[in-house]
Structure 1
Amino acid sequence: MTPEHPSPTEIRSALQRVTLSEAFRNTPQLVSFLTFVVERSLAGEAQEIKGYTIATRALGRPPDFDPQTDPIVRVEAGRLRRALDLYYAGSGKGDPVRIRIPRGSYVPRFERAEEASAPPIDVPSKEPFREEAGIPEIGPAPVLVGTGIEAEPTQAGKAGWMARFLPARRGLAAAAAIGFLVVLTGLIAAGAGLIEVFVRQENVTSATPLGKETQSTLAVGPVERIGSSSISPEALRSALIDVLARFDEIEVIDLAAGSHPGSRRGYLLTATVGDGIGDATVRLTHQPTGEVVWTRTFHASGNTQFIQTELAGRIGTAVAQPYGVLEADLRRRSRVDERTRCLLMARDYWRSPSAEMHAQARDCLEAVVTDDPGAATVLAALSLIYLDEYRTERNLRPEPLDRALAAARRAIEAEPESAQTNYAMMAVLFARGDTAQALGIGRHLLELNPHDTNLLAELGSRYVRLGRYREGVQLIDRAAEANPAYPPWYDFFRFLAAYMEGDWPAAKAAAARIVEPDYILGLVAKIAVAQQEGRKDDVKALADRLVGLQPEYGKSTRSALGRWNFAEEIRERLIQMLDAAGLPA
C-alpha cells in the first residue's frame, strides 16, 4: 500500500522534476524560492519559512530587508503558484507527487497526484496578505582541431540543440547560474550609495512577444546634466564605457561617437546627473521593444575628482556583472542567440549544479565551439565545465582535466587579455597544482576587470583553499555585497573559513544558506554542521546523498577531496569529519 504522505525522497524527486522542466528552466528566482521552502520543510524547519527568511536566504535580499516596503516575496510567491499550476496542467500532469504553495502561506504542501485536484490559475487577492507557518504534510567523440578536446554531445543534445544553432558571435553575454530572474528589483551596489530601485515588474511576467532576437549589445547614450551638478557628463560617460568594455561578453557601442547610428539591437544605457554632488540616475532600455527594464539612482561621495570613476564602477557592476541586470533581463527573453543561451545555461549549472544541468551545458557549449572554434569566452566556460566534470565525476568521460587545460589554452590564445579566458586558465592551473602561476594570473584578473564580482569571489575562494581565510572571506564578502544573486560556492567557502577558524555560528549560517540539494561541497558543509549538533540521522542521510551523487566519497574521501586542491590542514580535517560520518578515508 502506498504511504499516505510522500517520503522525502519522493518529494525531492518531485522538486527536481519541476526545477528541470522547460517551464522553470529560465526562472531561476522561482527555482531558488521553491527549493528553499521545500528543503526547509523537509528539514523540519517550517517555522523558518517566513517572508524575511525567504527574501534574505533565497532571494538575495540584504539583512535589513523590510517586507513592509519591499513586496518581492509576495510577488514571487504569486508567480510561483501560477507557474506550478501551469506545470501540473501541462508537462507535469503525470507526476506522482505534486508540490503546492497554499494561498496565505509560504509553507509547501506535498500531495500524491490522485489526491490533488487541479486548482484554477491563481489570481492575486486584494485581501491583506497573511503568513501562516503551519506544519506541512510531509560514443566516439569528434576532436576539435588543434586542441585535443573531445566533444561528444549526447544524442538528445544533438537533436535538441545542434539543429537550432546559429553562427556564434563574439562578444555576447555570459550568463547566469540559476541566478535570479528579478535581480532587477534589488541589486546592491558595492559600498554605500543605493537609494532607490524602480523596476517595471510587469515586464518580467509579460507574455507579449519580444520581437527581434535579443543580443547582449549595449549602446551607451548621452549623459545629460540637470541643474548644477558637479559631475562632468562626458567624464562619466567615458568612464562608463571603460567599465562596461571590460566585460568580455558584452559588445559596447559608443553612440555619441557615431558608432552604429540608429542601431536598434540589444540595449541602450542612458543617464542624467542632478543637483546633488554625486547623484546619477541610470536607465536601461531594451531597444527592440522600447521597454525600460531598469532604472536606478546612485549616490557617490568623496573627492569630486574621483566621483565619475566611483559612479561608473557601481553602475557598470550592477548592469554587467554575472547575475546582474543585463543578464537577468536576457534570461526572460524568448529569442536570444544560441551562443548567449549556452553561456546562460553554463551559469545556470553553477547556480544549481546537477548532472542534468552539467550535461546540457556541456553539450550546448561543445556545439557552439564546433561551429565557431575561436569563440574564446565559450571555450573558457567549457573549460570550467570540464574542470567540474573532473572534480565531481558528473557525466565523466576520459581525461577531463586534460580537456579543461586544452580548452583554456585555446581560449587564452584567442583572447589573451580577456578576463574570462584568464579565469579559466587560473582555475585549471590551480587544479593541476601550479599554485604560484595560478595566483599570479588571479592577481592579473583584477587588473583586467576589477568590476566582475565573480572573479573577485573566485580569487577569494583560492585564498581560502590555501588557508588564507581572512583574506579570502573579505574578497568573497565584497563580491556578495555587490551581487546578491551569487551562486552557492560563495557560501561554501565562507563556511569553510569559519569552520577552520572554529567560528560555529558563522559556519552554520553559511551552510544553511546553501539550499541546492545536488551541490556536493554544500553537502560536505551540512554534514559537518549536523555532526557538530549531534543530529546522527541527518548525518547519515546527508552522507548517503553525497555518495549517491559522487560514489568516490564512499570509497575514499581523501581521493575525492584531493580534486579540490585544499591545503593539507583543510583536507585532513574534512577527512576526519567525514570519517566520523561513516565515510572511509
Structure 2
Amino acid sequence: STIENAVATGSIAPWAPIESLPLVYIAVKTNSAEAARVAASLRAGLSGFDTVNFIGRDADGPPDPVTDAISFVFDVLPGPTAGDVTLELQSVATGRVLLSRNLTAADSTPSTVEDSVAGILSSAAPASGTIYNYIEQSGLQTGLTECLLLNDKYYLDQGAKTHEAAYRCLENLINRDAKSSLVYSELATLHLEAATDHYAYPAGATIEQAMSLARRAVQMGPTSPYAHRAYGYLNSRLGNSEESIRWMHKAYELNPYDLSMAAAYAYGLIFAGRYREGTPILAHAAETSSAHPTWWDYGLFVGQFMAGDMNKAALASDALQATPTKSHYLAARLIGAKAAGRNQLAHELADEMTVKFPKFAADPRATFIERRYPADLIDRLVEALRAAGLGNAS
C-alpha cells in the first residue's frame, strides 16, 4: 500500500509542515574504538534534543536542495593523529561545514566522551546554536523553527517587543492545531513572563494560565526535557521549590547532553537554598559550554557568594555587564565590585542603581522576597548591598 511504501521511504512527515524541525543524521566514516564511542554518545545525545529530529540511519541518496534544505549530518571522521576523532557538522543540501571539532584520545575516553559531546551538541542543536543560526542566515525558518528563533531572541534581549513577536508566533501555531509539546512549553514560560513583567500582550495574563499551558506540554511530551524544565521553572516562580527541583531533575535526566538542562536544574537547587549541591553542577555546565545565557552567571554568582568564595562570585558577576536591564544583576555586580576592592566602580554602580532602580535601591529586601529567594540568601544579599554602599539598604 501507499502508506507502507511511504513509511519504508520515510516520506510521511510525522506532523504538519508548520512543525517540521531540522533533521540530523550521523555518518560514521572511520572504525576506531574512539570513533565508535563518539558516535554512540552522539546518538544518545541527539535523541534527547527537542529542537531537532534525529534520524537514526544514514542520510541516503544524493541530497535534494529542496527537501534537504534543513537536513544536517554529523560526520565522524579520523582525526589528524592516531586516537583522534574529527566531528564535522554539515548542511546536507549545500555541503557547507558549520562546525568542526577535533577530539583527542583524552577527549573520547569512556569517562570524558559525554562531556565532550555535550559541549558540542549544546552549541549545535538548541535554538541558540549553529544549526538554527544557519537556518536563519539562509532564510529557511518557517513555522516552529521560526518561533524557536524568536523565542531565543527574547531571552537574549528581554522586552515587550521581542516578547510579543515570540508569543504571537507560538500562539499562531496553537491556533493551527500544533501537536508539538515545545509549542506549549515555550508559550507557558512566555505567558509567565507576561504575567510577572506586566507586558501588554497577552492582556490579563495570569500565572494559573501559564501553569495550565505547562501541564499540557508535559502531557503532550512525557519524555520532553523542555516540557519538564518549563513546568519546573513555573513551580520555582510559584515558590514550590521541592516540586520545582523534582521536575528540573527529570529534565536533566531526560537529556544530560543539553547543558542548559543541567544549568536549569542547578539554578533550581541554588534558589532553593541547596547551594553546595547546585553550584558545582552549574560551574561544570558553564565550563563545558563555550557560550551561555547570563542567567547561568547570575546563578553562579549566588552559589559562589553563599559558599563564601568571593573571588569566584566577583568573576561570575563581571559577566552580567551585558544585561543592564535587571536590578538583581546590577546588585550582583555591585557586591562583586566591592568584594574585589574596586571601590570606585562600586560607588558608580550604587549611584546607577539609585537612578535606574529607585524602588529596589530603597528596599532591596522587598524585591528578593517577591522573587521568593531563600531567607538566608536575602539576609546575606541585603547585608552585602549595605556594605557596598547602597543607600540604607534594609
The answer to whether the superposition gives a TM-score over 0.5 is: yes
Q: Which of residues 247, 252, 270 is equivalent to 1:464?
A: 270
Asked if the contact 1:386–1:404 (Cα under 8 Å) also holds between the matched residues in 2, the reply is yes
What displacement does 1:453 show? 0.7
Alignment of 1:251 with 2:53, yes or no, is yes
Distance 1:447 1:503, change over 3 A: closer
Residues 49-72 of structure 1, C-alpha deviations (whole Å, 9 max, x = no match): xxxxxxxxxxxxxxxxxxxxxxxx
Distance 1:531 1:369, change over 3 A: farther
Counting matched residue pairs gives 368
Distance 1:451 1:259, change over 3 A: farther
Q: Which of residues 127, 130, 133 is equivalent to 1:328?
A: 133
Distance 1:373 1:521, change over 3 A: farther
Residues 296-333 of structure 1, C-alpha deviations (whole Å, 9 max, x = no match): 21124499777876765555444325643323333423
Alignment of 1:581 with 2:385, yes or no, is no
Distance 1:257 1:463, change over 3 A: same
3-state secondary structure, aligned to 1:353: coil
Hey, what's the Cα distance between the residues in 2 that align with 1:218 and 1:400? 37
Asked if the contact 1:380–1:424 (Cα under 8 Å) also holds between the matched residues in 2, the reply is yes
Hey, what's the Cα distance between the residues in 2 that align with 1:415 and 1:583? 49
Asked if the contact 1:322–1:452 (Cα under 8 Å) also holds between the matched residues in 2, the reply is no
In structure 1, what residue type is equivalent to 2:162?
Answer: M
In structure 2, what residue type is equivalent to 1:389?
Answer: A
Q: Match of 2:379? A: 572
Q: How does 1:497-516 map to 2 (within 5 A)?
A: 497-514=303-320, 515-516=322-323
Hey, what's the Cα distance between the residues in 2 that align with 1:451 and 1:241? 11
Hey, what's the Cα distance between the residues in 1 that align with 2:47 and 2:307? 39
In structure 1, what residue type is equivalent to 2:351?
Answer: K
Hey, what's the Cα distance between the residues in 2 that align with 1:432 and 1:466? 12
Q: Which runs of 5+ in 2 are unaligned?
A: 1-15
Alignment of 1:230 with 2:33, yes or no, is yes
Q: Which runs of 5+ in 1 are unaligned?
A: 1-166, 173-215
Asked if the contact 2:314–2:337 (Cα under 8 Å) also holds between the matched residues in 1, the reply is no
Hey, what's the Cα distance between the residues in 2 that align with 1:336 and 1:401? 30
Distance 1:475 1:391, change over 3 A: farther
What displacement does 1:520 show? 3.9
What displacement does 1:503 show? 3.4
3-state secondary structure, aligned to 2:29: strand
What displacement does 1:388 show? 2.9
Q: Match of 1:370? A: 175
Asked if the contact 2:38–2:108 (Cα under 8 Å) also holds between the matched residues in 1, the reply is no
Q: How does 1:33-48 map to 2 (within 5 A)?
A: none
Asked if the contact 1:230–1:277 (Cα under 8 Å) also holds between the matched residues in 2, the reply is no
Residues 372-400 of structure 1, C-alpha deviations (whole Å, 9 max, x = no match): 34331121112122233344444474343
3-state secondary structure, aligned to 1:350: helix
Asked if the contact 1:220–1:254 (Cα under 8 Å) also holds between the matched residues in 2, the reply is yes
Q: How does 1:449-488 map to 2 (within 5 A)?
A: 449-488=255-294
Alignment of 1:492 with 2:298, yes or no, is yes
Q: Give the TM-score normalised by the residue count of structure 1.
A: 0.56
What displacement does 1:253 show? 1.9
Residues 459-499 of structure 1, C-alpha deviations (whole Å, 9 max, x = no match): 11112112222322211111112222201111111222233
Q: Match of 1:87? A: none
What displacement does 1:530 show? 5.5
Q: Structure with the greater relative contact order (CA < 8 A, sep ≥ 6): 1 or 2?
A: 1
Alignment of 1:542 with 2:346, yes or no, is no
In structure 1, what residue type is equivalent to 2:155?
Answer: W
Hey, what's the Cα distance between the residues in 2 that align with 1:311 and 1:541? 41
Alignment of 1:273 with 2:78, yes or no, is yes
Distance 1:576 1:301, change over 3 A: closer
Asked if the contact 1:265–1:288 (Cα under 8 Å) also holds between the matched residues in 2, the reply is yes
Alignment of 1:522 with 2:329, yes or no, is yes
Asked if the contact 2:18–2:173 (Cα under 8 Å) also holds between the matched residues in 1, the reply is no
What displacement does 1:250 show? 0.4
Q: Which of residues 94, 102, 115 is equivalent to 1:289?
A: 94
Q: Which of residues 211, 216, 220 is equivalent to 1:410?
A: 216
Alignment of 1:357 with 2:162, yes or no, is yes
Distance 1:259 1:454, change over 3 A: farther
Asked if the contact 1:352–1:519 (Cα under 8 Å) also holds between the matched residues in 2, the reply is no
Hey, what's the Cα distance between the residues in 2 that align with 1:304 and 1:484? 21
Asked if the contact 1:408–1:425 (Cα under 8 Å) also holds between the matched residues in 2, the reply is yes
Hey, what's the Cα distance between the residues in 1 that align with 2:310 and 2:24? 45
Asked if the contact 1:316–1:451 (Cα under 8 Å) also holds between the matched residues in 2, the reply is yes
Distance 1:474 1:584, change over 3 A: closer
Residues 390-427 of structure 1, C-alpha deviations (whole Å, 9 max, x = no match): 44444474343112211101111111110000000111
Asked if the contact 2:34–2:108 (Cα under 8 Å) also holds between the matched residues in 1, the reply is no
Q: Which of residues 436, 444, 462 is equivalent to 2:250?
A: 444
Alignment of 1:560 with 2:359, yes or no, is no
Q: Give the TM-score normalised by the residue count of structure 2.
A: 0.80
Hey, what's the Cα distance between the residues in 2 that align with 1:275 and 1:507? 39
Q: Match of 1:389? A: 194
Hey, what's the Cα distance between the residues in 1 that align with 2:331 and 2:61? 51
Q: Percent identity?
A: 22
Asked if the contact 1:270–1:283 (Cα under 8 Å) also holds between the matched residues in 2, the reply is yes
Distance 1:259 1:368, change over 3 A: farther
Q: How does 1:308-347 map to 2 (within 5 A)?
A: 313=118, 315-321=120-126, 323-347=128-152
What displacement does 1:254 show? 3.0
In structure 2, what residue type is equivalent to 1:273?
Answer: P
Hey, what's the Cα distance between the residues in 2 that align with 1:531 and 1:253? 52
Distance 1:256 1:307, change over 3 A: farther
Asked if the contact 2:217–2:227 (Cα under 8 Å) also holds between the matched residues in 1, the reply is yes
What displacement does 1:442 show? 1.9
Computed over aligned residues only, the root mean square deviation of the Cα atoms, in angstroms, reads 3.3
Alignment of 1:379 with 2:184, yes or no, is yes
By percentage of residues, which structure has more helix?
A: 2
Q: Match of 2:68? A: 264
Distance 1:388 1:225, change over 3 A: same
What displacement does 1:171 show? 5.7
Asked if the contact 2:107–2:116 (Cα under 8 Å) also holds between the matched residues in 1, the reply is no
